[in-house]
């Protein structure tokens, strides 16, 4: 646990008692603050009370007396589409609003660091797609190289729930726009921007607000080094803002769209080969084509970002390449869950929007595509140019018939359920095919979350393979 500094002997309200909220309350108390906890859900309040935390109804008239700050969980809106009523109340009362990320950055450093030979560092990863895989891959490479490291944030443990740092440790944080938007303190040593595509736009008041939330990690965080994906205009703009000139190697530009050139530091992947250039000369390369844990150009972008971070930490290209080859991938993200008779079964349940589904569809040939669920605005119409590798689609869930109308000439079958889809796709599949779950839709019509959907697919596949 990281005890929170700066609130000793003061009252701090905590709104939202999920994983991060509970960890925040305990970390505040460990730092000498009095945590006043509230959640609109009775079950969450009972769980907090069972952990010995103080419940404090923030709806009451005198609830804000002597409260020094309000710490909110990331899922609670503070501005768009409209502020949560208790956050609005805090603002009216002049109470500062923060989140666990802000508390972490102000509290992580400790006096024990004075005795360390190498100061701990924080790598913070944000972006629309790939940030979980990128964060996990950086963490994996560091572990493989024997470096002390912890993984936290939007993946792994809550940021305040990690252990105090060791000498030379690298803490890798995955940070969503919800987290970077509100944090009052953002001071990573290395910050990563993977890419940007439309997402959470209602929460940020549009694309500009969404980008602004990501940009805070760099503009206000002031990292020593920034790794920036420049395949979108926003990334190019951000890299230009942070750089003092073409040769400024504090900014490492990454791409999977084109070869990057110039006197600065670049890492890019083309046709499955990752290349590192510095001062106009190639100084490293990795053949990504045979690495099963990193299939497709979207994972090659993740590899470029992770490679750039690990190089800036001082790891050699061969060390990074060896770790890449041992990476198994993350559950529900292009996860190979089984192979039989030349047919591969891949779980990409995390592909909940068309951009992530497009990336998955571009990673494999001869695809038996399981898609559908609770579709988003526009359905899959914009994927028409990405279906060249799809042999047949097997459609499930609420949007199955809507998706069918948007498939053009691609053969399809309305399967309704995951069980029917897996059975039909496996029956049709031939050697060389990939049965791919990449729904391009949310899961909430049939599953509580994308993880449960992916677990159901995996279970059905593995049960079927065991019976063969």
Using an 8 Å Cβ cutoff, are 286 and 320 in contact? yes
Q: Is 50 annotated to bind ligand? A: no
Full DSSP string of 128-151? SSSHHHHHHHHHHHHHHTT--EEE
Q: Is 133 annotated to bind ligand? A: yes
DSSP structure class, residue 162:
S
Structure tokens at 12: 């701090």
DSSP structure class, residue 231:
S
According to DSSP, the β-strands at 265-270 and 273-278 are antiparallel
Query: Cβ of 1: how many Cβ atoms within 10 Å?
Result: 15
Q: Is 245 annotated to bind ligand? A: no
Give me the phi and psi of 258, to 5 degrees please: -160, 165
Give the residue carrying structure tokens 């995951």: 418
DSSP structure class, residue 10:
-
Q: Is 129 annotated to bind ligand? A: yes
Return d(Cα 309, Cα 307) in angstroms, integer. Answer: 5
Give me the phi and psi of 7, to 5 degrees please: -125, 25
Return d(Cα 15, Cα 299) in angstroms, integer. Answer: 36
Give me the phi and psi of 329, to 5 degrees please: 85, 170
Beta partners for residue 435, in sequence order: 345, 368
Give me the phi and psi of 274, to 5 degrees please: -90, 135
Using an 8 Å Cβ cutoff, are 195 and 126 in contact? no
Give the residue carrying structure tokens 């008239």: 61
∠ CA(248), CA(221), CA(192), 5° rounding?
65
Q: Is 127 annotated to bind ligand? A: yes
Return d(Cα 68, Cα 171) in angstroms, integer. Answer: 29
- The b/e string for 21-57 (b: 16+ C-beta within 10 A; e otherwise) is bbbbbbbbbebebbbbbbbeeeebbeebeeeebeebe
Instruction: Spell out the residues 6+ positions from residue 427 whose beta carbon is closer than 8 angstroms to its own.
Output: none
Return d(Cα 341, Cα 22) in angstroms, integer. Answer: 48
Return d(Cα 251, Cα 238) in angstroms, integer. Answer: 10
Residues tagged in the binding site annotation for ATP: 127-133
Residues tagged in the binding site annotation: 127-133
């Amino acid at each position: 646990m990281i005890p929170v500094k700066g609130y000793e002997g003061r009252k701090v309200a905590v709104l939202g008692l999920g994983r991060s909220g509970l960890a925040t309350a305990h970390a505040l108390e460990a730092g000498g603050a009095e945590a006043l906890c509230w959640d609109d859900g009775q079950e969450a309040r009972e769980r907090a009370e069972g952990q010995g935390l103080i419940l404090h109804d923030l709806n009451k008239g005198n609830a804000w007396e002597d409260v020094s700050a309000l710490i909110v969980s990331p899922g609670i809106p503070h501005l768009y589409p409209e502020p949560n009523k208790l956050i609005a109340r805090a603002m009216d009362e002049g109470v500062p609003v923060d989140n666990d990320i802000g508390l972490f950055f102000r509290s992580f450093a400790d006096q024990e660091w004075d005795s360390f030979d190498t100061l701990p560092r924080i790598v913070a990863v944000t972006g629309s797609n790939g940030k979980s895989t990128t964060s996990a891959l950086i963490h994996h490479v560091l572990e493989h190289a024997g470096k002390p490291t912890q993984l936290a944030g939007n993946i792994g443990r809550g940021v305040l729930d990690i252990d105090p740092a060791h000498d030379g440790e690298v803490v890798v944080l995955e940070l969503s726009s919800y987290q970077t938007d509100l944090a009052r303190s953002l001071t990573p040593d290395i910050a990563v921007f993977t890419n940007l595509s439309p997402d959470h736009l209602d929460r940020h008041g549009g694309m500009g607000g969404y980008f602004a939330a990501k940009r805070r990690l760099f503009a206000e965080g002031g990292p020593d080094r920034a790794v920036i994906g420049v395949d979108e205009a926003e990334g190019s703009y951000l890299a230009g803002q942070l750089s003092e000139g073409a040769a400024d190697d504090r900014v490492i530009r990454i791409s999977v769209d084109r070869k990057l050139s110039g006197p600065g530091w670049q890492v890019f992947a083309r046709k499955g080969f990752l290349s590192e250039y510095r001062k106009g000369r190639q100084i490293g390369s990795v053949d990504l084509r045979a690495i099963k844990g990193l299939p497709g150009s979207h994972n090659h972008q993740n590899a470029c970002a992770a490679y750039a971070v690990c190089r800036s930490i001082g790891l050699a290209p061969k060390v990074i390449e060896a770790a890449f080859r041992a990476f198994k991938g993350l559950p529900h993200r292009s996860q190979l869950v089984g192979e039989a008779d030349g047919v591969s079964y891949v779980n990409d349940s995390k592909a909940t929007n068309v951009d992530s589904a497009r990336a998955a569809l571009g990673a494999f040939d001869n695809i038996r595509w399981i898609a559908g669920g609770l579709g988003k605005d526009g359905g899959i119409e914009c994927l028409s140019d990405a279906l060249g590798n799809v042999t047949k689609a097997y459609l499930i869930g609420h949007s199955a018939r809507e998706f069918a109308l948007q498939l053009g000439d691609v053969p399809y079958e309305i399967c309704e359920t995951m069980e029917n889809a897996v059975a039909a796709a496996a029956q049709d599949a031939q050697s060389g095919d990939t049965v791919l779950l990449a729904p391009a839709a949310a899961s909430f019509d049939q599953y509580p979350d994308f993880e449960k959907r992916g677990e159901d697919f995996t279970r059905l596949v593995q049960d079927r393979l065991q019976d063969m």
